Amino acid sequence: MSAPKFAELEVGTIVAKSDLVLTREDLVRYAGASGDTNPIHYNDAVAAKVGLPGVLAHGMLTAGVALQVVVDWIGDPSTVVSYETRFTRPVVVDPFDGAAVSVSVKVGRLDAEARTARLDITVGHGGQTVLGKTQALVQLRD
């Protein structure tokens, strides 16, 4: 797949979508890589004790998989100028089924002079949006 061209983008167009499942194994791998070994991310008893509905995915893992959808679409991670999000709802990861997460990337704004596109990213789980105001600014080189 070739890199997207600035001239071909239109505001409001969905340019990428992905449905994925986060598993408990993913949480363990992420904990090891990030150093975030808080037991709410792997231990049901601890999660219940602190009043959570279950083991939660790391917020930064959820944000990371959302940005990966952008990187996969654009083909070059160095084109990402900035990325922002707000954590709005937890992603509960079932011990057997994991957590189904959907990501949709839409062109929110174009700047022809700077050759940048603001991408509005929607991340959902369980029928609800779990990240808010998620946006990536990318610079296209065509």
- Ramachandran angles phi, psi of 11, nearest 5°: -60, 135
In this predicted structure, the answer to whether residue 101 has a pLDDT above a threshold of 70 is yes
What is the pLDDT, as a whole number, of residue 25?
97
30 pLDDT band (50/70/90 cuts)? very high
List the domains of the chain with CATH numbers. Answer: 6-22+58-139 (3.10.129.10)
Instruction: Give me 36's structure tokens.
Output: 């975030």
**127 in the Ramachandran plot: left (φ > 0), alpha (ψ -120 to 50) or beta?**
left
Instruction: Give me 28's structure tokens.
Output: 């363990």
pLDDT tens digit sequence for 42-89: 999 999 999 999 999 999 999 999 999 999 999 999 999 999 999 999
Distant-in-sequence, close-in-space partners of 13: CB < 8 Å, separation ≥ 6: 106, 107
- H helix or E strand, kind and range, residue 69: helix 59-74
Mean pLDDT across the chain: 96
Instruction: State the Cα angle at 24 between 23 and 29, rounded to 5°.
Output: 100
What is the pLDDT, as a whole number, of residue 1?
58
State whether residue 85 is helix, strand or coil: strand
